[in-house]
Amino acid sequence: MNDEILVRIKVYNKEQFYIRTLERNISLNNIKYKDKYIICKIKESDYKTLSRYYKIEILKEFNTHELLKHLKKYYLEYLSVILGIILFNIFINTICYVDIRTPNQDLANKISKVLDTYNLKRFTLKKDFNYLAKVKQELLKTYPDELEWVEINNDGMKYIITLEERKKILPNVKNDRCDVVATKDALVTKVIAQSGVVMVKPNTYVRTGDVLISGEVKYNEEVKNTVCASGTVYGEVWYDVKISLPKTYQEKIYTDKSRYNLEFSHNNKDYKIFKSRLKDYDTKRKTLISLLGFKINLLKEEEIIYLTKEYTEEELDIRIDEVIQEKVGLNFKEGEEILYKNVLKKELNHSKIDIDVFVTTNIIISN
């Protein structure tokens, strides 16, 4: 064994003592002299050899046996500290209250039940940032007609969920009837009515709020019946879009190099165990251990390089379409499309391309 012990050796002849230790290849460390004694560290395996010739007193052991003796003596104290740390971490990472903020109580109750299925409820352990972001996206995907925005935050021992309802343009409702009205200024291209009286024809220009399909059924200008009108109206809508794009873009390419690393995570903070040896890389993460808000993750770092490329005319046209959709908020539901696109102006401005585009779209203009 190579464990060391601190000993005090009674020696009458130091020279003879040193010769004997050299002959037996015994190492002496941290040597001190006190009267007829030598105080030093020796290997535990050399203790028996020296004790045959000298009176040796063990002052301190630096081995697992000593550690076990120490732990056995003070195990209750150590156990109390460990349990205290565990209980403290459980306590500070436990959610005691879920605060759903919205004036719509029915929506709050509905979302509360959904959050329960994701284990975001009272007396559960906190979830990390990535998990909360995933739940947020799932809520927006599940309730696209009811939710405009969702925010989920950890605040001490509670979740604060802020819900912003999607604003709806309600149909004109009068007693037992309702109308389909225009949501945009447009040139009508197509009318599909399920019920009610069609008030506009294709190639008719309408403004926001105009009645497109009426719930009043008339005969000789006299209202004979009222219904709740329903249907879909398409129209041409025009946009003048100003776009600024970089002349170049970065293409990401993966090399064959990859490295593995370990990561410690706690309270939404990540700490890498080893310094990465790659300059640019993407990381794939796999959780090895997850306990009481602490995680140990295995990371696979895959090296990437970036190539700077200039847009071709075809690529630039595709990118312009993407930016147009973002700027005017086009979702392209069934039947919606860009009818016409005309670049009015295109200028090179240092490292950017400034573009002014006139766009004609065919989209749903009814509520």
10-residue mean pLDDT profile of the chain (367 residues): values are 80 87 88 88 87 87 68 81 83 86 88 89 84 87 84 86 74 63 91 89 92 82 79 90 83 87 80 82 85 80 88 83 76 79 83 86 87
Going by C-alpha positions, the residue among 162, 142, 350, 339 that lies closest to residue 248 is: 350
Ordered by start, the domain boundaries in the chain are 4-69, 94-165, 172-237, 241-247+310-362, 249-308
pLDDT of residue 181: 92
Please determine, looking at this structure, whether the domain spanning 94-165 carries the CATH number 2.40.128: no
Judge if 4-69 and 94-165 fold alike in CATH terms. no
Considering the four listed CATH numbers 3.40.47.10, 1.20.120.1780, 3.30.70.260, 3.40.50.300, the one that applies to the domain covering 4-69 is 3.30.70.260
Going by C-alpha positions, the residue among 7, 5, 50, 6 that lies closest to residue 26 is: 50
Residues 85, 152: Cα–Cα separation, whole Å: 28
pLDDT of residue 202: 92
Which of left, alpha, beta for 275 (phi over 0: left; psi -120 to 50: alpha)?
beta
pLDDT of residue 244: 82
Residues 161, 153: Cα–Cα separation, whole Å: 7
pTM over 0.75: no
pLDDT in tens, 2-11: 678 888 998 8
DSSP at 182: B
237 within 8 A of 365, measured Cβ to Cβ? yes
pLDDT of residue 196: 86
